Amino acid sequence: MSIQAAPLIQQTKLQGGSKRRRPLGHALAGMLAVAAAALAPVQAQAAENPQCELDRPMRFAGMNWESNLVLVEVERYIVKHAYGCDSEVMPVETLPALAALTRGDLDINTEVWLNSVAEPWAKAEATGNVKRIGDLYMGGEAWFIPRYTAERLPELKAAADLPKFKDEFKDPEEPSKGRFYGCPAGWGCEVVSGNLHKALGLEDTFTYFSPGTGATQKAALTAAYQRKENIVFYYWFPTPLVGSMDLVQLELPEYDKELHACLTNVNCADPKPTAYPENPVFTAVTTRFTQEAPQLTEFLSKVSVPLPVMNKVMAHMDENELEPDEVALWFLKNHQEIWTEWLPEAKAQRVMASL
């Protein structure tokens, strides 16, 4: 014998005092429909405003060169609109940034130029506190002179030739020597270029001028270039400066991995000259960040920009005198074919809708 459950019944009073009965299910259905209608805007808002994996702002390292500043702003825009995350940028130089990342004071170092910090990075990685998660592009470094200088001094081909031409690059503060414009103070490249300056035996003939900031370095070089002064300097690329000037690289001895590793060490006892290798530029995060925010880590690991596009972005920044956040928006609007590959489709759509 089968037993059927009787429907729940609700009594409703009619006119004249009589009652009729209706199934309670009808009432519940009506109540659920009202509740669903009330919840719909909340659910839609939740879809439009995704919940960040972190309950605090993401902390980006704000090294003060253009490519880093632009890519940081690109990433900050995406994590806000695609992942619902707040973020902040902590101004810091290269080596202190690496130390801060290792301590956990930062979450993300968007641009690590490996060859400038080879030994410090190896030590940081050995702690287990940091991880390399994605390759951005292949950068480069060199010692440059303007082409007009190369034409004036046709025998100046290599960095080792510089002592013979010290009077052509007079340091206004020490006229008996030439001036070599090195890397800004506190940057990883300052260690390498400083050791290379020693390795080439330039200490007796050229001062090593270390600008206080990247902006100071760029301003000094740009002013000298516009006045057609002879200058010799270290610089990296992609950058607006290298893209906008007609420059010639000075020759350096063939690249040697072991010799270059010593050049990256501030305590290199016996520096020897060697050329710069191609410079992998990658993103690093804390190990804790990868555990707390796997979706954000997945996104950051996919951030990569072809070098010709990066050169184009840097040129656009320089030609139009734009701020990093303005350049980031220009990149997002004009190069969707690149950044949409970093994201799941639904999250890419959120970013595009915000633009």
Find out whether 138 and 113 touch, Cβ atoms under 8 Å.
no
Which pTM value belongs to this model?
A: 0.69
Distance of CA 212 to the CA centre of its chain: 21
- Where along the chain do its domains lie? 61-138+280-354, 140-263
* Domain covering 61-138+280-354: architecture: 3-Layer(aba) Sandwich (3.40)
Angstrom distance (rounded) from CA 131 to CA 286: 6
Per-residue confidence of the chain (355 residues) as pLDDT tens digits? 333 333 333 443 334 444 444 444 454 445 545 444 444 443 444 446 799 999 999 999 999 889 999 999 999 999 999 999 999 999 998 899 999 999 999 999 999 998 778 889 999 999 999 999 999 999 889 999 999 999 999 999 999 999 999 999 999 999 999 999 999 888 878 999 999 999 999 999 999 999 888 889 999 999 999 999 999 999 988 888 887 889 999 999 999 999 998 998 999 999 999 999 888 999 999 999 999 999 999 999 999 999 889 988 988 998 899 999 999 999 999 999 999 999 999 999 999 999 9
Angstrom distance (rounded) from CA 190 to CA 217: 12
**Tell me: the pLDDT tens digits for 81-106?**
999 999 999 999 889 999 999 999 99
The fraction of the chain above a pLDDT of 90, given in percent, is 71
Q: Do domains 61-138+280-354 and 140-263 have the same CATH topology?
A: yes
Q: Which CATH class is domain 140-263?
A: alpha beta
Find out whether 180 and 173 touch, Cβ atoms under 8 Å.
no
Question: What residues have CB less than 8 Å from 24, skipping those under 6 apart?
Answer: 7, 8, 9, 10
